[in-house]
C-alpha cells in the first residue's frame, strides 16, 4: 500500500496548466505567417526604392539600357507583389489588381515613347515615373 501512496503524490505534482499542442501549432503558424508577411513587405519596399533610383537614372541619362532595366524591374515587382503581396491581402479584388497592372503596362509603353522621343522635357519623364511609382505603391498597398 505504501507504493500506491507514493505514486499518487507524484501524479498530483504534474503541472495542470500546460497548453494543448493544437494551440501552440496555431500560434506558431500565425507568428511564422506574420514574420513572412513582414519580410515580404520589407523586400517589396526595397524593390520600390531600387525602382525609384532607376527611374531617377532614366530622367538624368535617358539611355535605352536604363529604360530596359527599369521596365524589367517594374515587371518583376508586379510579378512578385501579385503572387505574394496581394495574395495575402484579401481586401484587394483580383479585378482591381488586373486593372492596375494593365495601367502600369500602359504607362511603361508611354514612358518608352517618351525616352525614344528626345524632344520631350525632363519634367514629363519625371511625371511619368512618378505616376508609375504611385501605381506601384497602390498595387503594393
Asked: is 22-140 a CATH 1.10.1660.10 domain? The reply is no
Q: Binning pLDDT at 50, 70 and 90, where does residue 88 land?
A: very low
Using the predicted structure, report yes or no on whether residue 13 has a pLDDT greater than 60.
no
pTM over 0.75: no
Using the predicted structure, report yes or no on whether residue 90 has a pLDDT greater than 70.
no
Using the predicted structure, report yes or no on whether residue 65 has a pLDDT greater than 50.
yes
Using the predicted structure, report yes or no on whether residue 85 has a pLDDT greater than 60.
no
What is the CA 52 to chain-centroid distance, rounded? 16
pLDDT of residue 16: 58
Buried/exposed code over 21-58 (b: 16+ C-beta within 10 A; e: otherwise): eeeeeeeeeeeeeeeeeeebeeebeebbeebeebbebb
Rounded Cα distance, 96 and 79, in Å = 15
Rounded Cα distance, 125 and 137, in Å = 18
pLDDT of residue 54: 93
Using the predicted structure, report yes or no on whether residue 118 has a pLDDT greater than 80.
no
Amino acid at each position: 500500500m505504501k507504493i500506491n501512496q507514493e505514486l499518487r503524490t507524484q501524479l498530483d505534482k504534474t503541472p495542470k496548466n500546460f497548453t494543448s499542442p493544437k494551440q501552440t501549432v496555431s500560434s506558431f503558424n500565425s507568428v511564422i505567417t506574420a514574420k513572412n508577411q513582414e519580410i515580404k513587405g520589407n523586400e517589396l519596399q526595397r524593390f520600390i526604392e531600387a525602382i525609384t533610383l532607376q527611374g531617377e537614372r532614366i530622367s538624368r541619362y535617358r539611355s535605352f539600357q536604363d529604360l530596359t532595366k527599369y521596365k524589367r524591374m517594374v515587371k518583376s515587382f508586379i510579378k512578385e507583389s501579385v503572387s505574394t503581396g496581394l495574395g495575402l491581402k484579401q481586401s484587394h479584388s483580383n479585378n482591381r489588381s488586373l486593372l492596375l497592372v494593365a495601367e502600369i503596362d500602359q504607362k511603361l509603353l508611354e514612358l518608352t515613347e517618351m525616352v525614344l522621343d528626345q524632344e520631350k522635357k525632363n519634367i514629363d519623364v519625371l511625371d511619368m515615373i512618378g505616376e508609375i511609382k504611385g501605381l506601384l505603391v497602390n498595387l503594393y498597398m
